[in-house]
């Protein structure tokens, strides 16, 4: 039996058992949950960097977004608060659409 030892989406256990396979799971404690969400974000980020097509990249970005939303909840936030913070920051500092690459800043 393969050992995974990782956080999975809520529907994965049902998907696996519907295939007639036996599984063993447990519910994480809050601190473990945050740790595993952070690990999952790293995992999804690595998969994004390995993506060979735009379609794969978008799939991995969607996975990352799901993890980010779960992390926001662990910090007392939600998707609307994240979007509000993102929009406020974009208004103050801009986004990344102009593709500006800062080379250096002269210090006085």
Separation of alpha carbons 67 and 44, rounded Å: 9
* Angle CA 39–44–46, to nearest 5: 95
For residues 67 and 44, the answer to whether their CB atoms sit within 8 Å is: yes
Residue 1 has pLDDT above 90, yes or no: no
The stretch 28-32 carries a mean pLDDT of 97
CB atoms within 10 A of CB 60: 19
In angstroms, rounded to a whole number, what is the distance separating the alpha carbons of residues 85 and 78?
A: 11
Percent of the chain having pLDDT more than 90?
97
For the cut 90, the answer to whether the pLDDT of residue 108 exceeds it is no
Report the pLDDT averaged over residues 59-78. Answer: 97
Q: What is the reported pLDDT for 15?
A: 96
5 pLDDT more than 80? yes
The CA–CA distances, whole Å, from 107 to 100, 104 equal: 20, 9
HSE at residue 52, side-chain half, CA atoms within 13 A, is 0
Say what the pTM is: 0.89
Mean pLDDT of the chain: 96
Residue 2 banded pLDDT, cuts 50, 70, 90: confident
Q: Average pLDDT, stretch 25-39?
A: 97
8 membership: H or E segment, kind and range:
none
């Amino acid at each position: 039996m393969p050992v995974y030892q990782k956080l999975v989406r809520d529907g994965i256990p049902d998907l696996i058992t519907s295939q007639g396979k036996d599984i063993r799971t447990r519910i994480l404690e809050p601190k473990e949950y945050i740790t595993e969400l952070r690990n999952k974000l790293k995992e999804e980020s690595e998969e994004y960097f390995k993506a060979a097509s735009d379609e794969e990249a978008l799939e991995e970005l969607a996975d990352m977004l799901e993890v980010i939303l779960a992390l926001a909840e662990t910090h007392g936030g939600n998707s609307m608060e994240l979007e509000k913070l993102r929009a406020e920051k974009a208004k103050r500092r801009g986004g990344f659409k102009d593709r500006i690459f800062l080379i250096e800043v002269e210090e006085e």
